[in-house]
């Protein structure tokens, strides 16, 4: 377990955690708000490229240090544990003098950014007012989420069994639960829902309540008749704990971000920070951006301009960070919230926010910690609508559409508040799905007339699909825009299923309803479609012929249950059969003597109670018969 540190920010919820017996107290750290704390026995060191391991070990030996973790997200960055030979400041001074070290810095403590509760701590106070304030319901008309979108919650953990979160918790597809094996080979055993970097185990259950509250605002299950609703109703929350009741270390925050990026989480929520600049953390976030990762950060709760008095990571000038300040329900900046015309990007609801808390409960809290998840949830919803959005497009969509607010002007880069509906309207979308698909048989022909309602004005065209089992579908036709009907003709008897969808350059719509129709065999006429023959010896002086006769209807569809009647030329032997579902049947000739070199068969009649025989339509695509008569040569 990492050494615990004193919290630098008041919290609404009691954070639950025990101090391990071997934990090292950090007596040098004060408990005043915004006082910087760091691990007394650890460093983050970045060696310059091409520094060999022998040189690294020599430099670390000089300060009594040893590498206990090498980061993959940031090349050449290591976490170093000190033996006590040198203090943190002494070790940094010694290492910084080396030409092989790019930088060495303390392993700073960061804290959650949750503010004290309002004077009236009514659990129903302002319940879910933030969703209306960001115009989430209007955005939900375009979509409510997707389980393909993964949001990493880098925090105090989360109650992943909470009934309003359980269905939206990320599950590692490469890991078999509880078998004690690192199935996916990622260095973490049984990391089913994420990882606890604070306790270094596979159970990222919330050590307090902060991460559970954040998670509910992002993605509490929507429309399930339970508790609250997140900004996005359906997503996957990857739970990455790195903080305890008194905060957590930068080194573990970087490991959590590294885990998220390596597992393709496109968004992370980071409702924590401190006032000390960490080059290691900045480089990790920048490298995450190169993997198209959006890093949403709380601006902090000191009520100060972080352009002048920075609060990190929110104040890092990086293109993949969105820094979020808190506003109240009256569109005023929260008194506790940090701000900055250059460092903070926008405001979001952050006062008296109701969300999930552990043990199937709900609670109300305030802070920029509560504002950041509104932005994370909004980003996730946009990504669900348009999975191909890049990080730059996603960030631009959110920041270019903020709602201007007089009282917020000049406090942030945008001077406005998150407007999810406006951002969603800016996202190019696939067209709306067609509806009211109907399929009607048109007897006596075996045709189906299809009609539907076109609900889009931006489609390029339509795909029409057909199936005979409602499982395997084939594309029946690609139709132009604005078309609302089609005739499927030339069908045999059976049941047919149809669905239609619109498409444009941004993708395909959802499918319409499925319509079905059952056709009886109804044809006005039949004819011979083909006759094929083979011959074979049945003895030294005798041979026979086998015919395959195919019967078609007026649209060249196969017709079943038709009796084929005819005669063999030799001795006028009769030969007949009845067609199957493929419109085919076989006739075997009598035995011919060796002196019969050629035998012929003539179709005399096609008999069925549902049609008439039209010899004029007979044909043979192989060209080896007249459509009525075929000759077979002795084998």
The CATH number for 601's domain is: 2.60.40
pLDDT of residue 554: 84
CATH code for the domain of 180: 3.40.50.200
> Looking at 17, 271, 278, 369, which residue is catalytic?
369
Question: Is residue 251 flagged as an active site residue?
Answer: no
Whether residues 144 and 222 fall in one domain: yes
pLDDT band, residue 35 (cuts 50/70/90): very low
Tokens encoding 549: 């006769």
What is the largest distance, in Å, between two alpha-carbon atoms of the chain? 118
Whether residues 530 and 506 fall in one domain: no
Whether residues 485 and 550 fall in one domain: no
* pLDDT tens digits for range 298-326: 999 999 999 999 999 999 999 999 999 99
* pLDDT tens digits for range 527-570: 999 999 999 999 888 999 999 999 999 888 899 999 999 999 86
pLDDT of residue 21: 25
How many CA atoms, within 13 angstroms, populate the side-chain half-sphere of residue 94?
Answer: 16
Find, among 219, 238, 218, the residue nearest to 175 by Cα: 238
Whether residues 487 and 537 fall in one domain: no
Whether residues 495 and 535 fall in one domain: no
To the question of pTM greater than 0.75 for the whole model, the response is: no
**Which distant-in-sequence residues (6+ apart) come within 8 Å of 394 by Cβ?**
266, 294, 379, 382, 383
pLDDT of residue 523: 52
> Looking at 155, 159, 191, 206, which residue is catalytic?
155
Q: Is 498 inside any structural domain?
A: yes
pLDDT band, residue 337 (cuts 50/70/90): very high
Q: Which residue has the tokens 């910084």?
A: 96
Q: Is 386 inside any structural domain?
A: yes
CATH code for the domain of 455: 2.60.40.10
> Looking at 4, 210, 552, 611, which residue is catalytic?
210
* Whole-angstrom distance, CA of residue 10 vs CA of residue 295: 24
**Which distant-in-sequence residues (6+ apart) come within 8 Å of 401 by Cβ?**
419, 422, 423, 425, 426
3-state secondary structure of 615: helix
- CA torsion through residues 578, 582, 583, 588, sign: negative
Q: Is 529 inside any structural domain?
A: yes
pLDDT higher at 16 or 431: 431
Q: Which helix (H) or strand (E) holds 483?
A: none
pLDDT band, residue 32 (cuts 50/70/90): very low
* pLDDT tens digits for range 158-201: 999 999 999 999 999 999 999 999 999 999 999 999 999 999 99
* Whole-angstrom distance, CA of residue 337 vs CA of residue 329: 14
Whether residues 473 and 619 fall in one domain: no
3-state secondary structure of 498: strand
* pLDDT tens digits for range 84-93: 999 999 999 9
- CA torsion through residues 110, 98, 77, 185, sign: negative
Whether residues 468 and 410 fall in one domain: no
Q: Is 13 inside any structural domain?
A: no
pLDDT of 22 > 80? The answer is no
Q: Is 106 inside any structural domain?
A: no
Q: Which of 377, 403, 426 is the last residue of a domain?
A: 426
**Which distant-in-sequence residues (6+ apart) come within 8 Å of 454 by Cβ?**
434, 462, 482, 483, 484, 502
Q: Is 577 inside any structural domain?
A: yes
Whether residues 224 and 204 fall in one domain: yes
3-state secondary structure of 605: strand
pLDDT of residue 188: 95
**Which distant-in-sequence residues (6+ apart) come within 8 Å of 115 by Cβ?**
10, 12, 301, 326, 334, 336, 350, 351, 365, 366, 367, 368, 369
Whether residues 459 and 600 fall in one domain: no
Domain that holds residue 237: 129-426
Whether residues 483 and 381 fall in one domain: no
How many CA atoms, within 13 angstroms, populate the side-chain half-sphere of residue 182?
Answer: 7
Q: Is 87 inside any structural domain?
A: no
Question: Is residue 467 flagged as an active site residue?
Answer: no
Tell me, what DSSP letter sits at residue 558?
B
Whether residues 448 and 585 fall in one domain: no
Q: What's the total number of domains in the chain?
A: 3
Question: Is residue 369 flagged as an active site residue?
Answer: yes
Tokens encoding 70: 């090498």
Q: Are 513 and 499 in contact (CB under 8 A)?
A: yes
Q: Is 620 inside any structural domain?
A: yes
pLDDT of 101 > 90? The answer is yes
* pLDDT tens digits for range 567-596: 998 667 889 999 998 999 999 999 988 888
Average pLDDT of the segment spanning 360-385: 96
Kindly write down the DSSP assignment for every residue of 377-407, as one continuous string: HHHHHHHHH-TT--HHHHHHHHHTTPEE-GG
Q: Which of 496, 519, 542 is the last residue of a domain?
A: 519
Whether residues 499 and 534 fall in one domain: no
């Amino acid at each position: 377990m990492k050494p615990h540190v004193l919290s630098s920010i008041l919290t609404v919820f009691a954070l639950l955690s025990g101090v391990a017996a071997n934990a090292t107290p950090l007596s040098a750290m004060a408990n005043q708000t915004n006082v910087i704390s760091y691990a007394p026995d650890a460093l983050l060191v970045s060696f310059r490229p091409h520094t060999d391991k022998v040189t690294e070990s020599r430099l670390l030996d000089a300060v009594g240090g040893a590498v206990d973790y090498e980061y993959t997200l940031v090349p050449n960055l290591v976490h170093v544990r000190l033996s006590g030979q040198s203090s943190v400041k002494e070790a940094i001074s010694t290492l910084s003098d080396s030409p092989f070290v790019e930088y060495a810095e303390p392993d700073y403590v960061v804290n959650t950014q949750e503010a004290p509760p309002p004077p009236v701590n009514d659990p129903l106070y302002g319940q879910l007012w933030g969703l209306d304030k960001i115009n989430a319901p209007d955005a939900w008309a375009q979509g409510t989420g997707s389980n393909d979108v993964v949001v990493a919650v880098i925090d105090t953990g989360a109650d992943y069994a909470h009934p309003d979160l359980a269905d939206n918790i990320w599950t590692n597809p490469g890991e078999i639960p509880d078998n004690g094996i690192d199935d996916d080979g990622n260095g973490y055993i049984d990391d089913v829902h994420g990882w606890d970097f604070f306790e270094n185990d596979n159970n990222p259950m919330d050590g307090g309540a902060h991460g559970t509250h954040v998670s509910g605002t992002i993605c509490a299950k929507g429309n399930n008749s339970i508790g609250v609703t997140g900004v996005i109703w359906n997503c996957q929350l990857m739970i990455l704990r790195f903080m305890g009741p008194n905060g957590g270390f930068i080194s573990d925050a970087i490991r959590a971000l590294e885990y998220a990026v390596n597992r393709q989480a496109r968004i992370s929520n980071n409702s924590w920070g401190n006032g000390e600049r960490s080059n290691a953390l900045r480089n990790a976030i920048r490298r995450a951006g190169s993997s198209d990762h959006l890093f949403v950060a709380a601006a902090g709760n000191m009520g100060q301009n972080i352009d002048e008095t920075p609060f990190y990571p929110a104040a890092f000038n990086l293109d993949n960070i969105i820094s979020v300040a808190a506003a109240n329900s009256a569109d005023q900046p929260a008194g506790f919230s940090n701000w900055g015309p250059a460092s903070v990007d926008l405001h979001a609801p952050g006062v008296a926010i109701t969300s999930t808390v552990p043990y199937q409960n709900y609670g109300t809290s305030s802070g920029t910690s509560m504002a950041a998840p509104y932005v994370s949830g909004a980003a996730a919803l946009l990504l669900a609508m348009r999975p191909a959005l890049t990080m730059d497009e996603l960030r631009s969509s959110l920041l270019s559409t903020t709602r201007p607010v007089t009282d917020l002007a000049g406090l942030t880069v945008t001077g406005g508040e998150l407007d999810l509906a406006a951002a969603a309207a800016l996202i190019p979308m696939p067209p709306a799905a067609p509806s009211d698909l109907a399929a009607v048989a048109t007897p006596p022909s075996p045709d189906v007339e299809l009609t539907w309602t076109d609900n889009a004005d931006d489609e390029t065209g339509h795909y029409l699909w057909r199936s005979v089992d409602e499982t395997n579908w084939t594309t029946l036709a690609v139709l132009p825009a604005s078309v609302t009907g089609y005739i499927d003709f030339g069908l045999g008897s059976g049941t047919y299923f149809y669905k239609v969808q619109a498409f444009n350059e941004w993708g395909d719509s959802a499918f319409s309803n499925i319509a079905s129709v059952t056709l009886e065999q109804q044809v006005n006429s039949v004819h011979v479609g083909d006759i094929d023959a083979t011959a074979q010896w049945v003895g030294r002086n005798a041979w026979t012929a086998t015919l395959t006769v195919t019967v078609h209807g007026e649209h060249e569809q196969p017709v079943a249950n038709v009796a084929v009647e005819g005669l063999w030329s030799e001795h006028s032997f009769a030969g007949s059969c009845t067609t199957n579902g493929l419109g085919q049947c076989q006739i075997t000739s009598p035995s011919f003597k060796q002196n019969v070199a050629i035998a012929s068969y003539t179709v005399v009649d096609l008999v069925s109670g549902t049609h008439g025989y039209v010899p004029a339509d007979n044909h043979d695509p192989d060209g080896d018969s007249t459509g009525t008569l075929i000759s077979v040569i002795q084998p």
